[in-house]
Amino acid sequence: MGLSKVSQYGDDITAVRTLNQAVRVTATDTASLLHDSDESDAVYENALGKREQYRVVASGGKLFVLLGLLLSSAALLRRWLVPVR
């Protein structure tokens, strides 16, 4: 399901943050000088975007499931309450 993808990209984000923190720990004043833009930034941004996309898709799926259950239960209730003519 979509939730496994959300956790997968969350793990990617955590891994990149851990690597970046190891670089930034040496000197807090010059963190921006020590941290050059590299491939880990691209991986991080890609993982952030994909995780947000899968969150939206998963929440939209839940919304449609709830809507379907509501409509189905309303139809069953109507069928039970209104006699067939």
Instruction: Say what the pLDDT of residue 60 is.
Output: 92
> Is 72 buried (19+), middle (13-18) or exposed (0-12) by CB count in 10 A?
exposed
Interacting residues of 58 by C-beta distance below 8 A, sequence separation 6+: 1, 2, 3, 6
Domain with 52, as residue range(s), is 2-81
The whole-number average pLDDT for the span 17-32 is 57
Query: What residues have CB less than 8 Å from 54, skipping those under 6 apart?
Result: 2, 5, 6, 9
pLDDT at 1: 44
Give the number of domains in the chain: 1
Residue 22: is its pLDDT beyond 60? Answer: no
More confident residue, 42 or 23: 42
Give the residue with greater pLDDT, 57 vs 23: 57
What average pLDDT score do residues 45-50 get? 85
pTM summary value = 0.48
